[in-house]
Structure 1
């Protein structure tokens, strides 16, 4: 976390592409973490601008519009409204949800271009690019397919072969074809403007690699470092399209700004729309903290390209942190819009009305903060039933019911309980222990929020309920009622205080639950909440003698029938995949038996990959830089066909640390990465379930 005290915060969440509905992978990646953090900041009384909007330009939009037989404007209007409504229905609390087709955005993006252009920073270059004569469009790399020159795969794309992982350029493809029309494209000369990213490499090394190596997440910093160390190249910032923001130059006719130049400027234009004349405070004042919430596929754009653009323009602040998440999978498979393998947000809200806190809780509990995570409906059911219902909901309901049973719904007095017998002495000891444990959990929850560890923060939030349940179970007020109502009153007074603090602690994570508890307590928690979050200490939100409302259940169990419907929906939607061969390969036979002493010689440890690159002249090897906890070492691993270099950065790997070094292709490999190979020949990393310290041993 930045140590500087800031006057205000500008928090952005990645602009979703307006070509389809939102699914839970989108929500878990950028929007729920951002919303949780912003709610926390607001509770502390901070000045926050939380901005987002639809990203509405690019080739994918024009192609999607053609497929649906509508104009690009009609196409983006449809999906903008669908996403905006889904966000609102789910309770993502943007201060503004704008769009990049707005006039204010066109003006802002063009002004940004002009400011850099007047400094003669852009490069002009004419080159031959593939053109689809039938469609009348130049083709982006992703819209050109052909045979991979490396492995012979017949459906490789113009930027990469997804079968062997080789990075490609369109001209390397054999028998290229347009994925739009299916025809063979032709090469035509076209002029474009390029941003000289290579000239900012030295500055990026100082600002990013030195300035943020200790406070940015490992997966974010590692991917950026890998890109920079491989060398940066100029990037085209214009395209030959009719749909988009026109290049503001006399010689720019028929050209538009590349979507990845115009899209992040959307954060700025949205802030202008929100704040009017005051917008510059949120983008140009050094006392403002700029934070981008994104998924890992956007790391390079937000950590390297956009900061370089801001630096070139010259008047903007730079991002102080970019807490990017990894990807969320679904039932052991990648979420896929094209295959309809997804849990769509708007459909979830229809199928589970009034239960959006359940999804917030589950997605945060499995948040892919350091590595990819998997959402399953069985896990959803288990977490809701055994945690929200059995722990949080159970504690609050027990306290409310007992207060009505013994005190007619009035908060009992919190007078000091004299230490007159062994039972009272034990109650006081239990109170002191609970208070200590609760204070610790509150402090750890706030610290975790400050450091963008939302999964951990939510654990500490739920732990308040765990401690409350234990306090009730240990003091047993229902038994004491027969002999010591004074003690029962003290126990329930404190328990109600805990309930009030739970309501306040829930707000960043479970805002509907906060409202429901506050309604049952019959109190306004705003003033107490500010004190709670600023002091990191328990508060007393429910005064003695106060009349509470009737008790009501906060959550209900997810039934087997509920999840069976969802699993069946996924099964029906998922297309049948035709395998190249239906015959399974036999499993590898067991190797000869070894003694325990042989095994004990192996030093197996967990390390973190801090950089990765593909070895030249090898289609199998990745060169990994691994923090072993004891040193930083280079390990060559034959996994390039199964993992891309950029997706390895930040991952934790299991490796043999005491294997004799071995030279391969002129580089000394100092260990061996352990992998699992299935009977189809696919390799998978052996990773710890939770992130551990580098150097941890496997035994």
Structure 2
């Protein structure tokens, strides 16, 4: 006889609850399930998670709410609940006593696979999404490092959602009130407003040239109502009990008579030793105060900093630590971002200064203006609220660089908590690391960069977008060489797609300019059609913010082109056999279908080329992405096979599309 008894002293901490092994195949040979005792402490929530197993909870004691996806059930002693494979679940115990259960779980792969088949990735994408990107700082132009981060990747998601018929909007702008704009203006001896306007116009022109669309642009320096809206939101934050007036020692340059913060301060991070500006270290992601930097000096004149007392409003971030943990638990957070935020929470969040002594920004009186990062966060919340008022609520996804993690994943949510604007926070954070040029980070100040305008002029938007998505620094630092930057149009997918598409000129001539209807099918035809549908679902899965991967998307799209080219090569002999004329019709119809599929799947990556193919196929509007691919109607005309302007509108290899 084998027995087990519930024993709190034998429990270990896992899944944010107490667990104790019960019985499994390790105890009883052939036992088809595993089991554990579990206990969720009072006033806590277990970890939200999913697995491939089926699972059953049997309640021993206590009362709590079991959550499975969007369903909730309150269970008490004797209650039983079944949890399906891959269903996200948690236990919310709001009572004053522990919630004790037995969990029995088993693996049945056919059931798990069936669940996946019944829940295609497309179904998880919302009908309406707002995709935010941090507004670039208008103190210089964009380089390839900028494009490889949030901007092209966010545009890729927006286009993909629109191709599925979803309502997707891309929101960005220019971060006009950043201290980097004011510092650049001082160094150039010009007005910060002129820097923000001139450089901001150039940045937006570059994004347009890269086919990055923007549906709402926030440009604070040129928006006459911006200051009033931000002051109103700032007042809501300032009224929070976690905001206090404090006098603190602050880095100061006596030569320039400048309060040193952010771009005006330079030194080394006290945590990791990397070169750093004030308030944030890009290398390790930790916040700081400028006076805490090692060897801090004035960026404008180089004078070593002294300190002076300054009185300002400070926000107690740590007072909102548990609220922040709860928020991050409820949304998707990229692993690298989550590691940083959990480390910051464990170390204790520092207080953050809400206003600065500066002449640039949203003025508050007494020589102070809203801190640039606070201004940016409130601008985000203001834009999200405006979008909601305009078209209704939407799921918000934020693309951001890892160097902005603290400001967007800590400061932004806590400001929203303080102002009562939590409804407008992101539901998902999608981060990127850095793209390096050769072995060093892109640097505007050191001139270590390949400028986006120059690359776009040389290779065209499609080639640049493709290269940036292929080399996207997702979860890691990636690199591009100077030589590689000069050969963006030679990307394998870019070349092979053009070669494959060029071959349609002969096929169009073979069909007298009309797409044939399907005839008889072979096994090879069936499997190619199955491949197009299954690969589309795989690509859809890479668009979920929780699993977003531009790099993976490009690799799969490259496989689609290779598979289509291989299909053509193996089918050409069949089309020359008179007795297989019916099979030949299906073969050709599948080829034209593959072109339609490619146009829809490639539109988020290479929009110009994809639109050319879509138009050539005689299809209206922009490329549309079907859940299950329908054939082009029999008799559809696809242009003339004769040479000239009506030939298949696909540029030759190496030409700009």
The TM tier, using the shorter chain, reads 0.7 to 0.9
Equivalent-residue separation in structure 1 for 2:631 and 2:535 (angstroms): 17
Give yes or no for contact 1:411–1:545 (8 Å, CA) kept in 2: yes
1:134 aligns to 2:247 (yes or no): no
Distance 1:12 1:173, change over 3 A: closer
Give the structure, 1 or 2, with the largest relative contact order (CA under 8 Å, sep 6 or more). 1
What's the CA shift for 1:106?
1.4
Find 2:637's aligned residue among 546, 570, 578. 546
Do 2:436 and 2:480's aligned partners in 1 also have CA atoms closer than 8 Å? yes
1:170-196 deviation digits (Å, cap 9, x = unpaired): 556787643312335443321111111
Q: Alpha carbons of 1:443 and 1:135: their partners in 2 closer, same or farther (altered >3 Å)?
A: same
Call closer, same or farther: CA 1:27–1:211 in 2, change over 3 Å.
Answer: same
Within 5 A, what are the aligned runs for 1:333-372?
333-352=440-459, 355-372=460-477
Shift of 1:479: 6.4
Contact 2:612/2:650, CA 8 A, preserved across alignment: yes
CA positional deviation for 1:147: 9.1
Task: Find the counterpart in structure 2 of residue 626 from structure 1.
Answer: none
Instruction: Return the offset for 1:498.
Output: 1.1
> Which of 357, 361, 368 lines up with 1:255 in the alignment?
368
Matched, 1:222 2:339: yes
Q: Distance in 2 between matches of 1:112 and 1:124?
A: 18
Q: Which has the higher strand share?
A: 2
CA drift at 1:538: 1.8
Q: How far is the alpha carbon of 1:391 from its aligned partner? A: 2.7
Contact kept in structure 2, 1:131 and 1:187, CA below 8 Å? yes
5 Å-filtered alignment, 1:281-680, equals 285=393, 288-317=394-423, 318-352=425-459, 355-376=460-481, 378-379=483-484, 384-385=489-490, 387-404=492-509, 406-416=510-520, 428-450=522-544, 451-477=547-573, 480=576, 484-524=580-620, 526=622, 529=624, 532=626, 535=627, 537-549=628-640, 550-552=646-648, 554-558=650-654
- 1:459 deviates by 2.2
Q: Is the partner of 1:455 in helix, strand or coil?
A: helix
Residue 265 (1) aligns with residue 265 (2): no
Q: Deviations over 1:627-664 (max 9, x none)?
A: xxxxxxxxxxxxxxxxxxxxxxxxxxxxxxxxxxxxxx
Range with greater deviation from structure 2 (440-449 or 387-396) = 387-396
Bigger Cα displacement from structure 2, 490-499 vs 459-468: 459-468
User: Is the Cα contact below 8 Å between 1:141 and 1:157 reproduced in 2?
Assistant: yes
Partner of 1:188: 308
Instruction: Call closer, same or farther: CA 1:268–1:116 in 2, change over 3 Å.
Output: closer
Aligned-residue offset at 1:540: 1.8
Q: Contact 2:499 / 2:653 at 8 angstroms: preserved in 1?
A: no
2:77 match: none
Q: Does 1:109 align with 2:230?
A: yes
Q: 1:555 Cα shift?
A: 4.7
What is the SS of the residue equivalent to 2:205? helix
Structure-2-length-normalised TM-score: 0.73
- The 1:177/1:116 distance shift into structure 2, 3 A limit, reads closer
When residues 44 and 254 of structure 1 are mapped into structure 2, their CA distance, relative to the original with a 3 A threshold, is same
Residue correspondence of structure 1 range 129-168 to structure 2 within 5 A: 129-140=250-261, 143-144=264-265
Cα deviation, residue 118, structure 1: 2.9
Distance 1:147 1:445 in 2: 43
- Deviation string, structure 1 residues 244-266 (Cα, Å, up to 9, x no partner): 1012xxxx421101111001222
* Structure 2 alignment gaps of length 5 or more: 1-48, 50-68, 71-123, 641-645
Whole-Å separation in 1 of the counterparts to 2:243 and 2:270 = 33
| Cα distance, 1:162–1:13 mapped onto 2, change above 3 Å | closer
State the shift of 1:542 in Å: 4.7
- Distance in 1 between the 2:587 and 2:401 partners? 46
Check conservation: 2:574, 2:580, Cα contact below 8 A.
no
For each residue in 1:110-135, what CA deviation from the matched residue of structure 2 results, as whole angstroms up to 9, or x when unmatched?
11111122344311111232332332
- 1: distance between equivalents of 2:287 and 2:416? 28
- Does the aligned pair in 2 maintain the 1:56–1:99 contact within 8 Å? yes
Q: Identify which of 342, 362, 366 aligns with 1:245.
A: 362
Number of equivalenced pairs: 527
Give the root-mean-square deviation of aligned CA atoms. 3.3
Query: Helix, strand or coil for the counterpart of 1:103?
Result: coil
- The superposition leaves residues 323-354 of structure 1 with CA deviations (integer Å, 9 ceiling, x where unpaired) of 011111112321111111111111222223xx
| Distance 1:121-1:164 versus aligned 2 partners, 3 A rule | closer
Q: Give the TM-score, by structure 1 length.
A: 0.69
Shift of 1:415: 2.6
The 8 Å contact of residues 146 and 157 in structure 1, kept in 2 or not, is answered as yes
Correspondence for 2:326: 206
> Quick one: distance in 1 between partners of 2:172 and 2:284?
36
8 Å CA contact 2:589, 2:631 repeated in 1: no
Deviations 1:132-174 (A, max 9, x none): 2332321116534579999999x88767999999997655678
Q: For 2:508 and 2:291, locate their aligned partners in 1 and report how far apart those are by CA, in whole Å.
A: 75
Change (3 A) 1:207 1:474: same
Whether the aligned pair in 1 keeps the contact of 2:314 and 2:353 (CA below 8 Å) is yes
Specify every segment of 5 or more residues in structure 1 that has no aligned partner in the other structure, as ranges.
Answer: 418-427, 563-699
